Amino acid sequence: MNWARLVLLPFLVLSAALSVTWMLWDHERQSARHELLSQFNYSLGDAVSRIEQRMGTYELLLRGVQSLVAATGEIDRGRFRDYVGTLNLDANFSGIQAIGIVAWVPATQKLEHITTMRRQGVPDYAIEPEGSRENYAPIIQREPFIGINRAAPGFDAWADPVRRRALEQARDSGMATLSGKVRLSVDSGGNTRPGFVMYLPIYARGQPQDSVAQRRAHLVGWVFASFRMHDVIASLYGEQPPGLTIAIYDGVEMSAAALLHKTPEAPGHRRPTDMSAYEYLVVGGHDWTLSMSAHDDFKARFGRNAALLIASTGTGLSLLLALLTWLMMTGRGRAMRLASAMTKELRENEEKFRAIADCTVNWEIWWGPDGKPRWINSAVQAYIGYTVDECMALPDFAGTVIYPEDIPRVAPEFQKALQGLRGNDLEFRCVRKDGSLMWLSASWVPITDSKGEFIGFRMSGRDITERKQVEAELRIAAVAFDSMEPMMITDASATILRVNSAFTECTGYTAEEIVGQTPRVLRSGRHDDAFFEEMREAIHSAGGWQGEVWDRRKNGEVYPKWLTISAVMSDDGTVSHYVATHHDITERKIAEERIKELAFFDALTRLPNRTLLLDRLRQAITASARNEACGALLFIDLDHFKTLNDTLGHDKGDLLLQQVARRLADSVLESDTVARVGGDEFVVVLGNLHKNRQEAANQTEAVGERILAVLGSPYQLGKIEYRTSASIGATVFRGHQASIDELLKQADLAMYKSKERGRNAVRFFDPDMQTVVVQRAALEAGLRNAIEDKQFLLHYQAQVVGTRVTGAEALVRWQHPQRSIVPPAEFIPLAEETGLILALGSWVLEAACAQLAQWATRADMAHLTIAVNVSIQQFREADFVDNVLTIIARTGARPDRLKLELTESVLVDNVQDIIEKMSALKAKGIVFALDDFGIGYSSLSYLKRLPLDQLKIDRSFVRDVLIDPNDAVIARTIVALARSLGLGVIAEGVETEAQRDFLAAAGCYAYQGYYFCRPLPIEDFEALLNNVETRRCVAERT
């Protein structure tokens, strides 16, 4: 028993000392842990910020490319490649795999698009994947054209649902849009790294884009940039972020299928489960999820190891203290006296302790073995707002006062105390009566009676709320100071006290060189004293300042930075320190200047582009209104420029445009504006002309004549001397009488009138030009409505062989609601020019086939054929054959009763394609006739290859066949040629009996013309055929 007593007290001393050691160790461990988590959270936010800024830079780049294409009005492959080369993508825009152009190709334009691409130097160009679709969005060019980017163009992004969603969103919104996770079209089978694509729409130059419908109607294509997420993250962090594993997911679901990129974990490192988090990003209208986790390298880099030192030192001191206690108890008598004295003192001081406990500022509570408080000191009321009586009356005091989230940490220590064990010191939050929170540092000490029996425990606590707030602020400050942004701290007199490592890397000054100096050592000389005085006043009045500053590095290099200065206030309200952070914006400034240059100036000629022209013209109009002086607009178009490009090449065309730009700039005042608005079109804005409109027009004409003379001088294009001329349209304005769009249209119309009058002239706008344009626009609108409202009908003109009507030609007529019948010569050319001929031609073909099907049910008309004119645009459609056969099947017409008439214009381009389509239709029984033969581009070699059945002598030869020997020879030659080729022949425009007799003598027995029958509505035509008397008369005349 004595031996047990000698051992018990040293053991208790050892336990108490170890408990104190544990509390200190745990406090340091928690502090280090919180600091590490703060650094991790900052790294997560920094990663989000980097990705968003990088995506913003990529969008600015695409805006520049968009401006380049919009300025030229066309996609020039060579110029686009040169432009991308100047951007130096690897150095300035790292992470981009390629920049390119996606064209918008409706199915109706697919064949023409493929033909154009092959002519432009891509002989094997094809749209992949194959197949018929309503629309296509093929990649027509990607740059830089090196490595895997040399893959053949033609990949149809519209065929991929993921890319298509992004293309549609960009088209409808007009904004840059990101695709979902895709495999890049240039990747080979072995490269499985996922990527994504950013698209920015391109609309037709000068067309409105105010609504989704307008943007869809005027879409030309998209400019895109493709990326692999691996390359983007590597450009931000390198191959392995220090101590971190970063994963990017497409969308908000973090699954293997959605994974875009994940940085590899370093071998042999364990990731702490509590060091991971994720953030949602919305970039380019698309959702990403950023997941980040840290491994031991991160912990070693930012953690601290003071806890290990506390544990080892505290354990040694605890053992030493227990040893000293044991040595002191080795004397029995002294031990007995000491025990007696301690017992007496304990009894005497019990009441004193209670009194003192009520006076202390610490939280003191005595708990019974049942877990209910037995005694609470008055300090508790000051802490949590409950009175002592209210505390004692609470059914669950601990559950009410302790913050719910901290109860799981406190409960184990509480249970230890109830078991008579000394609990670990713990810091946790409590809820005050008013609902606010406070921090408490508490310890638990068991209480025993004189027999050593457990009768409860005492819990002591102190308020550490203020300390926790200070610790949090210090951790945040420490994390911020060690961030990747350069930071500098000065005292109130602006003497530099401390800089971080990022500052020394950015400026080149070491900490030893810069500490003790003032920020003046960094000044570049670009800002005057007034600038810094305004900065000081802002800091004094607002407590801070931020803005762009140009500073000088140690090596003398001047660079731009974004500077933020914050004043730190002391308790008495005075400034104690200044904290300055900045980041180098050199690359951003270079990119902004480059993009600004591309956005407002033409890349080839360095002249202002259309965007800057509109601004300059707006200024000129405002100045004209203010000064009451006139201004003028000259629209200049080079004559025969396309011929130069086609014969000598685009490089010579570019040289000409550059020399023209210089001559134009030298021909006007510096205050005037010369701009290139696309292709070979230039605009000159003249200001400060005479107040009298006629005098201003005279001045404008003089400038125009001077420009014509200058542009007419010889040009040296390499070794070639070249001459050209220009057509100039001019309009004079004064104030805001006309809008910018109206002035441009007026000058453009005048320029086209100049071309019509023989070119190389200055032509002024007059209102009659606008009237013609308005009438044409009205006619076009009416034509579109006519197709939708079915305002067309067919007239039929008989075709006669010998004495028998064998068929008719279907001729379309337009029954206009206000104008009655509109002549075909007025609306057919317009339909061909606007592309409406496709819809109109399809209607004509279907109506004619339906009529054939009706005649087939009548024995007296089943033999009749119907000839239908087919335009070259219809023939060029890739699905032309399928459309014709579908109409025949739908109407039930006999193919051998349908004759398709085509003109010689089909022989100008892609003859082999025409032959294949004709052969496919001829195999189904359809008959072909070559209309207007002799007036076009016929080649005997092509004529021999075409699967024709009949030649049609043009009415221009038939009209004068009796009076013009040349026309007579031509008519006989056509008949002889048809016979030699085994073809039939028919003459149109036969109006007299003598013409009919001449043609019959020449061997032509098939006729069409007013001599036999005018074009008639179907009712009148059928009545003509059914009228026995009429048939007899026709027979007598033939």
Provide the pLDDT for residue 913: 87
Distances (CA, A) of 347 to 9, 344, 375, 444, 454: 19, 5, 18, 21, 17
Model-level pTM?
A: 0.40
Region 345-367 average pLDDT: 61
Report how far apart, in Å, the C-alpha atoms of 348 and of each of 344, 368, 469 are.
6, 22, 41
More confident residue, 124 or 853: 853
Mean pLDDT, residues 925-946: 76
| pLDDT, position 73 | 66
Cross-strand bridge partners of residue 717? 720
Single-letter residue type at 42 = Y
- pLDDT for 28 equals 66
Enumerate domains of the chain plus CATH numbers. Answer: 48-294 (3.30.450.350), 363-469 (3.30.450.20), 483-591 (3.30.450.20), 601-765 (3.30.70.270), 778-1025 (3.20.20.450)
Q: Which residue has the tokens 């057509």?
A: 727
Q: What is the pLDDT of residue 1029?
A: 40
Please state the rounded mean pLDDT for residues 273-280.
Answer: 77
Here the tokens at position 58 are 């990529």
* Contact in structure between 870 and 901 (CB atoms under 8 Å): yes
pLDDT confidence of residue 361? 58
Task: Examine the pLDDT at 773 and tell me if it is beyond 60.
Answer: no
Q: So what's the pLDDT on residue 283?
A: 86
Q: What is the pLDDT of residues 80-109, one digit of tens each?
A: 888 888 878 777 777 788 899 999 999 999
Which pLDDT band, with edges at 50, 70 and 90, does 359 fall under?
Answer: low
The answer to whether residue 193 scores a pLDDT higher than 60 is yes
What gap in Å lies between CA 236 and CA 646, rounded to an integer? 46
The pLDDT score that the predictor gives to residue 14 is: 76
Mean pLDDT, rounded, for 566-589? 83
**Residue 388 has what pLDDT?**
83
Greatest mean pLDDT among 141-155, 325-339, 401-415 lies in: 401-415
Among 73-82, 271-280, 634-643, 861-870, name the most confident range. 861-870
User: Measured between alpha carbons, how far is 86 from 81 in angstroms, rounded to an integer?
Assistant: 9
Quick one: average pLDDT of 800-827? Answer: 88
Least confident of 398-402, 559-563, 747-751, 756-760: 756-760
What is the per-residue pLDDT for 122?
Answer: 86
pLDDT of 307 reads 64
Mean local confidence (pLDDT), 761-784? 76
Mean pLDDT of 197-206: 90
Dihedral class, residue 348 (left if φ above 0, else alpha if ψ from -120 to 50, else beta): alpha
| Residues 868, 836: Cα–Cα separation, whole Å | 17
Q: How far is CA 322 from CA 2, 22, 425, 455, in A?
A: 18, 16, 20, 26
Both structure tokens of 999: 């043609």
- pLDDT at 224 exceeding the cut of 90: yes
pLDDT for 1033 = 46
Least confident of 337-346, 515-524, 628-637, 879-888: 337-346
pLDDT at res. 939: 59
Query: Residue 356: is its pLDDT beyond 70?
Result: no
- What tens digit of pLDDT does each residue of 509-540 get? 998 999 999 999 999 888 998 999 999 998 88
Report CA torsion sign: 407, 408, 410, 411. Answer: positive
Query: Which pLDDT belongs to residue 102?
Result: 93
User: Of 20 and 946, which is predicted with more confidence?
Assistant: 946
Average pLDDT for 885-912: 87
Cα 788 vs. chain centroid, distance in angstroms? 36
**What average pLDDT does range 633-660 have in this prediction?**
90
Mean pLDDT, residues 1000-1013: 93
**Residue 150 confidence (pLDDT) above 60:** yes
Question: How confident is residue 727, by pLDDT bands cut at 50, 70 and 90?
Answer: very high
Give pLDDT tens digits for 842-878: 999 999 999 999 999 999 899 999 999 999 889 889 9
Could you give the angle at the alpha carbon of 49 between the alpha carbons of 43 and 54, nearest 5°? Answer: 125
* pLDDT higher than threshold 70 for residue 269: no
pLDDT at 723: 92
When pLDDT is averaged across residues 532-553 and rounded to a whole number, the result is 90
Q: Taking all residues of the chain, what is their mean pLDDT, rounded to a whole number?
A: 84
Q: Looking at per-residue confidence, does 184 or 139 come out higher?
A: 139
Mean pLDDT of the 787-801 span: 91
CA distances from 853 to 805, 880, 1026 (A): 18, 21, 18
Cα atoms found within 13 Å of the Cα of residue 789, Cβ hemisphere only: 11
Among 450, 401, 396, 442, smallest CA distance to 423 is for 442
Categorize the per-residue pLDDT at 809 as very low, low, confident or very high, splitting at 50, 70 and 90.
Answer: very high
Residue 941: its pLDDT value, please?
Answer: 65
Q: For the residues 490-519, what does the mean pLDDT come to?
A: 90
Instruction: Give the model confidence (pLDDT) of 373-416 as tens digits.
Output: 888 887 787 788 888 888 888 888 888 889 999 999 988 888 88
Q: Specify the pLDDT at position 648.
A: 86
Mean pLDDT of all residues in 59-78: 78
Give the C-alpha separation, 69 to 509, whole Å: 45
Q: What is the pLDDT of residue 664?
A: 95
- pLDDT value for 8: 74
Mean pLDDT value of segment 351-374: 70
Amino acid identity, position 961: V
Answer yes or no: is pLDDT of 51 > 90.
no
